[in-house]
A and B are shown apart, each in its own frame.
Chain A
Amino acid sequence: MSARDDHSWGAPPKLPASHFVSGTVYTDPDICAEEVRELFGKLWRFACHESELPKAFDYRVFDHAGHSLFCIRGADNRIRTFVNVCSHRGAKLLSQPRGNAETITCFYHRWTYDAEGGCTGIPRPAGYRGTGPSRQAMGLREVRTEIKAGLVFINLDDDSASLETFLDGALDSFEEALSGVPLEVFHYNRAELNANWKAWHETNMDMYHENMHVVLRKTQLNAMPMEDRTMALFSNGHGASGELKAEYAGYAGFAGRGDDVPPLPGLKSTDFRFVDLFPSTTILLRGTAVRIDTATPLGPDKTLLEMRGLGVKGEPMEHRRTRIKHHNQYWGPFGRNVPEDTFAAEACAASFSKGAARYQIIARDENLTGQDDAILRAFYAEWGRRLNRQPSAPELDWVDDG
């Protein structure tokens, strides 16, 4: 046991390349731009929950891969997504985060569009006679949209495989809880973190950091034998926990959590389960409440974190109140766990930003049980394949060693 000099500290760990990650992946602006283009620009991504658009012409505006987009429910009840940009001269069309618009009117020259993306009006069209622009040709840019278990996913890449193929079954064991009863969003929070998006997402993939959260130390670490835990890996970089357990009485004030409101379909109030969808969406089910979060890169050292909490649509007020309470015990800006995860993401980012930290180790191998780092390794393998870079040495091309 001894401290290390700079040479030793800066040398790559003596581990298989799949078991550590270079700090450059968090700090290099070129890598960040590639991630936006190759990952966020080409992969399916959770956009919102269908309950956020309950009526025809309801819309939700959001940011994705540097673009402003909006989902809107059409008269035919279908949810479609469009780039939030006018076909004429590029003005941003919708500026409110949500609303209802049967006709979308651009403020600038007052071209109009319908909820199916068609251009329905061009003032004084005669002026274009002979030069080309017509309503038929000037529709909005539609973005592929598919819904699974109430979750609206979008994809900027018109040529990519279907959502079903991309998910590879990663959501299957969450479907009963997410769609066995209709859900709706009661919590939404967006916050900017001073951290790379992957540093945040690692907190969702890393089982080992249970040790950081006092609540999990007291309620989760000893609730079931480590060797009875399971994890599942899927194609395309997704990973999920199996069923984990909590003994809420271990943390003051949490005893009896879940006795007073029905758990989600297929779950007991003491069950906990999560799935990490590549690149940066996580769904967590904790007995009575759901959290869905997404991380969006704003730069190598800035991340937009969006978090949603969901309850059962139409449930009695007192159930909703309790469910919100359960959500807030762990999650939200005043939860016991989330401010610790954000703290961890920023603390690691600060170390990597100026090179004080050089590598991070993801070498726990517990055969997909306990606190295995397998989900982290699956994530970085997919990252490497997609960007053609080795996560352990990003200046080198990806080598697929199976």
Chain B
Amino acid sequence: MTADDGKVPLTEAVRELVGQAALALDAEAFDTFLGLCTEDFQYRIRVMSPELGQEMIWLEQSRVELGKLFAALPEHLTRPGRLTRQVSVASIHEETAGLLATSVFSVFHTDFAGRTQVLAVGRYVDRWALDKGALRLRERDVHLDTRDLGIGSHVPL
């Protein structure tokens, strides 16, 4: 399968888009990030609890809800510093409705003093769809391995 122009294989395009999405989130360019998503985009953070023996949902947002969350961030008392996401696409499978991409990610936090620490690690399970000729992110399930996030985060990972 290739994109409309027939030149770039879709798998390559997804690989690049996953990277672009990470860069947009790192830059807090949230409009750019949402621009990569479909109108019916769904974002979830899922975490397995060994204490409860079940999966938990720590955040679930539609595109509209995410837009409101992003817009409210400047008013919130958020973790100072910046986040850097390192994402490595591990597999891409074609599905009837698009492509399923699984990536391994780490999120690093760098404070104002320039000290960097790992904030979280996990996997993105993304569903990409061809939407009006362009590939867009329809669903992102963030499977978090890290459960102790210190003070927590207002910013989705």
Question: Which residue numbers of A lie inside 8 Å of B, CB to CB?
Answer: 52, 60, 96-98, 185-194, 212, 214, 251-253, 321, 324-325, 328, 332-336, 338-340, 342-344, 346
Closest 9 CB pairs of A and B: A339-B152, A333-B152, A342-B151, A253-B68, A334-B59, A214-B75, A340-B77, A97-B51, A333-B149
Instruction: Please report whether the interface of chain B is mostly helix, strand, loop or mixed according to DSSP.
Output: loop
Q: Which residues of B contact A192 (CB under 8 A)?
A: 148, 150
Q: How many residues of B contact A (CB 8 A)?
A: 31
**Binary per-residue interface labels of chain B (74-96) against chain A in the complex, 1 for a CB within 8 Å, 0 otherwise:** 01111100000000000000000
CA gap between A332 and B75 in the complex, in Å:
19
A188, A334, A344 pick with most chain B CB within 10 angstroms: A334
Known pairs A52-B52, A333-B152, A339-B152 / 20 extra A-B pairs, C-beta < 8 Å: A98-B51, A98-B52, A187-B56, A188-B51, A188-B52, A190-B147, A193-B151, A194-B150, A214-B72, A321-B57, A324-B57, A332-B58, A334-B58, A334-B59, A334-B152, A339-B78, A339-B154, A340-B76, A342-B151, A344-B77
A335 contacts across to B, CB distance below 8 A? 152
Q: Give every chain B residue within 8 A of A52 (Cβ-Cβ).
A: 51-52
For A338, give its contact among B53, B60, B152, B156 (CB under 8 Å).
B152
Nearest A residue to B151, CB-CB: A342
Chain A residues within 8 Å of B60, by CB: 321, 324-325, 328
Considering residues A98, A321, A339, A346, which has the most beta carbons from chain B within 10 angstroms of its beta carbon?
A: A339
Considering the chains assembled together, what is the distance between the CA atoms of A325 and B61 in angstroms?
9
**Chain A residues closer than 8 Å to B59, beta-carbon distance:** 328, 332, 334
- Nearest-neighbour CB distance to chain A for B40, whole angstroms, equals 17
CB within 8 Å of A: which B119-157 residues: 147-154, 156
Given known A191-B149, A252-B68, A334-B45, contact A98–B77 (CB-CB < 8 A): no
B152 CB, nearest partner CB in chain A, Å: 4
Q: How far is the CB of A248 from chain B (nearest CB, A)?
A: 13
* Cross-chain contact of B71 among A190, A252, A332, A336 (Cβ < 8 A): A252
If the complex has contacts A187-B56, A190-B147, A334-B45, are A214 and B76 also in contact, measured as CB distance less than 8 A? yes
Decide: A343 and B53 in contact? CB cutoff 8 A: no
Residues of A within 8 A of B50 (CB): 96-98
Given contacts A97-B51, A214-B72, A340-B77, contact A193 B56 (CB under 8 A): no
CB-CB < 8 A to A98: which residues of B? 50-53
Closest Cβ of chain B to A95, distance in Å, is 11
Task: Decide if B151 touches A186 in the complex (CB within 8 Å).
Answer: no
Q: B49 interface residue, CB < 8 Å from A?
A: yes
Which chain A residues lie closer than 8 Å to B65 at the CB level? 253
Alpha-carbon separation in the docked complex, A191 to B150 (Å): 5
Chain A residues positioned under 8 Å from B76 (CB to CB): 214, 336, 340
